[in-house]
Every structure is written in structure tokens, then in C-alpha cells.
Amino acid sequence: MSELAWGNIIGVFTVLSMAVFIGIWIWAWQKRHRKVFKRLSEIPMEDHPEGPNQPIPTTETRDPRQEDKS
């Protein structure tokens, strides 16, 4: 391949990598993730050898009372 083709391939790869990085950054800073990340950031400060007292909140919105009880 010529040097021009390699330059184009590297340029496209760089732009795609940057777009993926920005997409992950936007996803991580969404408001709905704040509660989960806050709870995860507090885990190292806890002094419980058996594990954390509270379950880690999730971003899921399903209602556990409506689950199939079979």
C-alpha cells in the first residue's frame, strides 16, 4: 500500500477512536448514573470485612414487585 493509503487508514482509525472515547465519556456523565457512581465511590471507605451493608443501586427501572413469581 502506498503511504497515502496508510495515512488515510490511520486518520480514520484516529477519528473513530476519538468518537468512541467521547461517546463513552458522555454515557458515563449522564445524570442517571450519578447515584450508582456515588455508591461505588464510597465502597473503599467502608470498614466492613464482610462487605457493604447496602446493595449497589442500578440504573434499571423495572419494578421488582411485578416480576413473575413462578
Residue 15: give the domain boundaries. Answer: 1-42
12 in any annotated domain: yes
Q: Using an 8 Å Cβ cutoff, are 33 and 59 in contact?
A: yes
Place of cell 464482610: 50
pLDDT of residue 47: 74
Inter-residue contact 33 to 57 (CB < 8 Å):
no
39-53 per-position pLDDT tens digit: 888 888 877 666 556
Q: Is 64 or 10 the better-scoring residue by pLDDT?
A: 10
Alpha-helical segments (H) within the chain: 3-28, 34-42
Q: Which of 55, 30, 61 is nearest to 40 (CA)?
A: 55
State the chain's mean pLDDT as an integer: 79
For 25-38, how does the pLDDT look when each residue is reduced to its tens digit (9 = 90+)?
Answer: 999 888 888 888 88
The confidence score (pLDDT) of residue 62 equals 60
In-domain check, residue 30: yes
Dmax (CA) for the chain in angstroms is: 64
Residue 3 lies in a domain: yes
The reply to whether the predicted model has a pTM over 0.85 is no
Domain contains 57: no
